[in-house]
Structure 1
Amino acid sequence: MTPLKQAIRKLHLWLGLASGLVVFIVSITGAIFTFQEEIREATEPWLKVPVAATPALPPSRLQAAMLRNHPGLTSPWVMYMAPDRSALVYGTDKAGGSYAAFVDPYTGQELHYKDLKRDFFTIVQEIHMYLLLPVAVGEWVVGIGVLIFVVMLITGMVLWWPKRKKDRHRSFTIKWNGRWRRVNYDLHNVLGFYTASIALIIALTGLVMSFEWVNNSVYLTANMGSSFPEEKMPPKVTAQPVSTPSLPLIDQFYAQIRRGSPTAQMLYVAAPVAPDQPAYSIAYRTSLLYSHRDEYYFHPTTGEVLKAIPDAGKSRGQKLIDANYDIHTGQILGLGGKIIAFLVSLISASLPVTGTLVWWGKRNKPKKEKPRRPQPVQAV
């Protein structure tokens, strides 16, 4: 083995031992979260509603339905899903707790109420993104762990690459009838090779959500080095109101989004946060898909549209960033993509385990007994 390959092997080993637990947890929770929508639909009947002939109620009516049943909360945003799905009204309390009310968008009836701190998939997502640590700490721990995993995938490919042609068949197959050390070694190397390219995509899209510099790098690369600040910078709030709006502001936002994006299936409509910050809302073309989105910025006190960014007018880089979550979860390719993401995530979770066993097996390899030399026969 060349000195360079020996150095790569040591780098692969020690980085793997350092990041193995983080990679295992992030990968296994990612696999669990992959089919969360399908599992929710099978186990949560309140997600579906009959489609009515009348239009959906404005967001202030849906917020009022939730707040009437749960006083003491505030509702910063409402999510309209597909026509046959309940609307999600998000609520917070003074202690920072998060709650979700599922409301029939046509009648305003609350169908279910959930404390998100006790929701299984919300907990899985928090572990996946932050390891249940404070966000500022957990985001860095997970981000660095995934960044190391990217290096591990690249160095693993270098170490896997067969030097001789006659070794290629062995590098592509698992010798199931071998001893456990050989089977484990093959599981680590062969499965790692077959999933490396997709695992790299999943890891890199995860880094886009963790680090701004990765996000910017992907944006600039897709745009061939060009940047378009007008699609990334929110507008400034300058004008102040001269009269009180006749409708609740969030209803004005909703009405203007419906006019601007009439075919959108999913709407995120947020109330103003502060009088000097624009209110931000999104219209998604397809329900439960987060790419192909029109974005809106509204004046927080007058309700007028300050900026609209339609999907059709966005650069390639921004469209790629918008599709990042769908690529990360595999759902951009439908059910088949989710199955691939699920299997690759499971295999990614196995790599730190099989890699550690390879290291442990080499350190604890049974020593072969040296053959004893025959003793000379002494003459009597």
Structure 2
Amino acid sequence: MSDVRRPIKAALLQVHSVVGLVLALLWAVVGLTGATMAFEDEIEASLNSQMMRVEASAPRRLTPDELVARLQAAGDFGKVSAVTMSSDPSAAAHIRFARSDGGTRPSSVYVDPYNGHLLGTPRGEDFFATVRKLHRWLLLPGDGNGVGRKITGSAAICLIVMLISGLVLRWPHRARSVKMWLKPNLGLRGRGLHGSLHAVIGTWVLPVYLVMTLTGLWYSFEWYKAGANWLLTRPQATAAAQPKPPRGTTIAESKGEARADAKAEATPLVFDHVWSAFLQQENNDYGRALLTLPAGAGTAVRVRSWARDSSLESVRDEFRIDAVTGRVISSDRYADKRFGERVLAGVLDIHRGAILGWPGKLVFMLAAAMMPLFVVTGILLYLSRRRHRRLAPPSVASLVPGE
């Protein structure tokens, strides 16, 4: 190694080691929780398969308001916040509830769409909700508005530094050797084996970790989200990409929103006007629809619609419909999005590898589950270097013998 590169690598190794030791446990927690959620939908579907399927017992299915009314007549479940309806005649309806005054959210329920009969509370929902909070904001107070969100975002930035510095530190003399890059030397023992596993497996998962961190930052920092919007859509495209009012909307109708809001203060919001308008917009051609009441003041209900053959969360149409008048305030159809807008809409699917189907989710899950391996081998390598420095003059050695 040249005299110029030696001090640079020594400093880089010091940064790599210190940052790794400080954030090792946090990365392990985020990695393991991410791996746990990789197949959340499939696990919950398996655990609740009987609850989620029904047999047609009437000529027609109940409307969302009829379902809510029958459910509330059966017991005090809390204020309904969202209803999921499906075009599949054998699929149960899913109802979610708003947070209580104490900040807790009651468990959701499945109901029979033909008679409103309560089918039960889905198993695994509370577990995955806790895992998700741990993954996103470490169960710290404030949830998404607290400090936990900033901590995980900062840890993601530090992980990018670790990935780049690790790649530089392990750059082999024979850089074009595929074997040197991708094949761990399992014949080694002790520090050599730890270094080989740390470096080679780190090279395997480096592209996946980069995708995870770059998309994960979207959920941590508003400045990052704004920058991504500017980069992928540009300001003029961003303005054009805002949900557009449907044809026929007039200025008078826009002014009528204030009157509708005032009326809604005295009248609880309902779903049926929204449901009728949505069916008209989609011409009854939908696979699944999620109707969500506004969290605060206002009468605009958000409706997300997925096609029957859709397997991705991001491939959906979205509408805002007035719950009092049934007027469509805005519509945002996936088919009308540009490439950059589709990328932004699919950040979550990219983050968990779902954009590549179940093989992608499996690869991302395994990569996330390997995070503790780097924690353990990294700590062992650090302790080994400490012992070595007490016995010999300090020197910069390659992470993998022979490189």
TM-score (structure 2 length as normaliser)? 0.81
Contact 1:130 1:137 in 2 (8 A): yes
Any stretches of 5+ residues in structure 2 without a counterpart? Answer: 246-252, 393-403
Alignment of 1:99-110 (within 5 A): 99-110=107-118
Alignment of 1:309-328 (within 5 A): 309-328=332-351
Aligned with residue 71 of structure 1, among 65, 71, 76: 76
Shift of 1:101: 0.7
Aligned with residue 131 of structure 1, among 131, 134, 138: 138
Contact 1:33 1:121 in 2 (8 A): yes
- Residues 315 and 192 (structure 1), Cα distance of their counterparts in 2 relative to 1, 3 Å cut: same
2:91 counterpart of 1:85: yes
Contact 2:273 2:325 in 1 (8 A): no
Contact 1:266 1:287 in 2 (8 A): no
Amino acid at match of 1:78: V
Equivalence for 2:213: 203
- Residues 328 and 167 (structure 1), Cα distance of their counterparts in 2 relative to 1, 3 Å cut: closer
Any stretches of 5+ residues in structure 1 without a counterpart? Answer: 370-380
Deviations 1:82-113 (A, max 9, x none): 62432221113332221201112233221112
Contact 2:277 2:321 in 1 (8 A): no
Shift of 1:226: 4.8
Instruction: Write the distance in 2 (CA, Å) between the matches of 1:42 and 1:115.
Output: 10
Equivalence for 1:376: none
Contact 1:101 1:111 in 2 (8 A): yes
- Residues 48 and 114 (structure 1), Cα distance of their counterparts in 2 relative to 1, 3 Å cut: closer
The worse-fitting range, judged by mean Cα deviation, of 302-311 and 272-281 is 272-281
Instruction: Write the distance in 2 (CA, Å) between the matches of 1:46 and 1:123.
Output: 24
TM-score (structure 1 length as normaliser)? 0.85
Instruction: Write the distance in 1 (CA, Å) between the matches of 2:196 and 2:218.
Output: 31
Shift of 1:345: 0.8
RMSD (CA atoms): 3.1
Shift of 1:152: 1.3
Instruction: Write the distance in 1 (CA, Å) between the matches of 2:298 and 2:54.
Output: 40
Amino acid at match of 1:260: Q
Deviations 1:111-162 (A, max 9, x none): 112598x822121111111111121121111111122112211221222221
Aligned with residue 329 of structure 2, among 290, 293, 306: 306
Contact 2:243 2:330 in 1 (8 A): no
Amino acid at match of 1:122: A
The worse-fitting range, judged by mean Cα deviation, of 101-110 and 39-48 is 39-48
The worse-fitting range, judged by mean Cα deviation, of 131-140 and 226-235 is 226-235
Instruction: Write the distance in 2 (CA, Å) between the matches of 1:10 and 1:162.
Output: 19
SS of 1:127 mapped into structure 2: helix
Shift of 1:58: 1.8
Instruction: Write the distance in 2 (CA, Å) between the matches of 1:312 and 1:298.
Output: 20
Shift of 1:211: 1.9
Shift of 1:73: 0.7
- Residues 81 and 95 (structure 1), Cα distance of their counterparts in 2 relative to 1, 3 Å cut: farther
Aligned with residue 15 of structure 2, among 11, 18, 26: 11
Equivalence for 2:249: none
